[in-house]
Structure 1
């Protein structure tokens, strides 16, 4: 089981640098930050840009993988985004993971004055976003004409450090998204039930999560891909709760997730208030007893 942590991009770098460095020291395999212009609930609080934050984190660390959780077409264009990704992959020495998601039609799009899309149009836009980003990162020259995105003689030179491109972590919970993930993802991502319903304790969420794993395996089989070639990552803390309440809870949750077919689990760096309120002492205990060499989830 690989272990990851999400750090919100909310601190000035003098403080944030310390947190990203500690995430590596703690022994996490990967660290992520959310790719949004802001969250509605935190719109009056500090919120820094994702790519600059990850670039700075790359210079403050040397081993841990770094990723977007998740970038979406809500405010990004594949051509400009691919340029940022290749630079970040280079600066990090090939440690970047590009997390991608369809976007939920929230504050990111509203602040740009975008008109809401239907679920079908949103899925269609996401398919173009992933397809074109994939092409740009694999080829030095790309032309593309879609309904939502266009690229004319777009150059991506020298390309990614990682070959054939930066790995994709595709968030998907429905059949259409899972088919897309089966074609393009190196890692499939779920945070549990879609939407913003009532959070569930990790053991009660497990039947639904196990069903999602089976659906993802079926999507892989449908496109002729070996399901074992796709890692399965579960993000906890929002719809899946109580995972980081204690070391024993974390061990128990990791064991259940692994038995259900997950390869990676992600929790959140504890905050003083909502959301992701928690105690840093628990994270330190998890690091010392689970993530440290010789520890076991």
Structure 2
């Protein structure tokens, strides 16, 4: 099991740099950030761009992987995103993972002045977005005319450092998204079942993730892919037990053990932020980072 962290882009770089350097010093496999223009309770506070933040982080870290959890089509276009990702992959020396999802109906969905897309349109756009982005990151020149996105001789030379392209971690729970994860993903991302967040139990959450993995397995089988070769990432903090896994090393090991037994291969915990949904004791957090993986075996 790999343990990673997600660092929200809320700090001016003079402070943010120390956080990203600290994540590498603690031995996290990867450090991710959210790719939003603002987010929920942080909307009226500082919030910086994901790609510039990851670029700065790439310059002050050496081995830790970096990425987004997650990027969505809400305010991105595949052509411009591909250029930024190729640049970031080069600057980082091939350490980038793109977490990507369909997006939701929050602030990002309307900030450019458009109406929020329906769930069906989000799914349509996501499928086209991922398909085109895959081509843009693997081919030198791409022309494409789709229903939602187009490219006219889009050039991406020399391409990614990682071959054939940087890995995709596809966030999905519905049938169409799971098929995209099976076809294009090097990993799959879940936060659990959002319907259980307020009123569910930890036991129900485990069963829900088990069912998600079962559907992912079926999606892989349909195209002849072995699901064991697909990484399974769980972004924590959105299950009914929420912050309790960060109360102690033992609490985290108990929580993590239940999900790794299902086949989760990477758990992602939020870097503590005081007076927020992600508040946690920093000393306990650091102890989890340095001791939990060894206890999990």
TM-score range, shorter chain: over 0.9
Runs of 5+ unmatched residues, structure 1: none
Q: How many residues align?
A: 295
Cα distance in 2 between the residues matched to 1:216 and 1:287: 29
Query: How far apart are residue 204 of structure 1 and its match?
Result: 4.2
Query: What does 1:118-157 correspond to in 2, within 5 Å?
Result: 118-157=118-157
Question: Is the 1:290–1:296 Cα contact (8 Å) retained in structure 2?
Answer: yes
Query: How far apart are residue 220 of structure 1 and its match?
Result: 0.4
Query: How far apart are residue 279 of structure 1 and its match?
Result: 1.0
Aligned residue number for residue 178 of structure 1: 178
Aligned residue number for residue 254 of structure 1: 256
Aligned residue number for residue 16 of structure 2: 16
Query: What does 1:156-167 correspond to in 2, within 5 Å?
Result: 156-167=156-167
Aligned residue number for residue 290 of structure 2: 288
SS of corresponding position for 1:79: helix
Query: CA deviation digits over 1:41-74, x for unaligned, max 9?
Result: 2221000000000000011110110011111110
Cα distance in 2 between the residues matched to 1:202 and 1:245: 15
Q: What's the TM-score once normalised by structure 1's chain length?
A: 0.95
Aligned residue number for residue 47 of structure 2: 47
Query: How far apart are residue 296 of structure 1 and its match?
Result: 3.9
Q: CA RMSD of the aligned region, Å?
A: 1.5
SS of corresponding position for 1:18: helix
Question: Is the 1:289–1:296 Cα contact (8 Å) retained in structure 2?
Answer: no
Query: How far apart are residue 285 of structure 1 and its match?
Result: 1.2
Cα distance in 1 between the residues matched to 2:287 and 2:280: 13
Question: Is the 2:109–2:117 Cα contact (8 Å) retained in structure 1?
Answer: no
Runs of 5+ unmatched residues, structure 2: none
Query: CA deviation digits over 1:273-295, x for unaligned, max 9?
Result: 1221111011111123225xx55
Query: How far apart are residue 110 of structure 1 and its match?
Result: 1.5
Query: CA deviation digits over 1:200-249, x for unaligned, max 9?
Result: 56444111111111111111001211111111111111235222221001
Q: What's the TM-score once normalised by structure 2's chain length?
A: 0.95
Cα distance in 2 between the residues matched to 1:282 and 1:204: 27
Cα distance in 2 between the residues matched to 1:34 and 1:216: 24
Cα distance in 2 between the residues matched to 1:25 and 1:102: 33
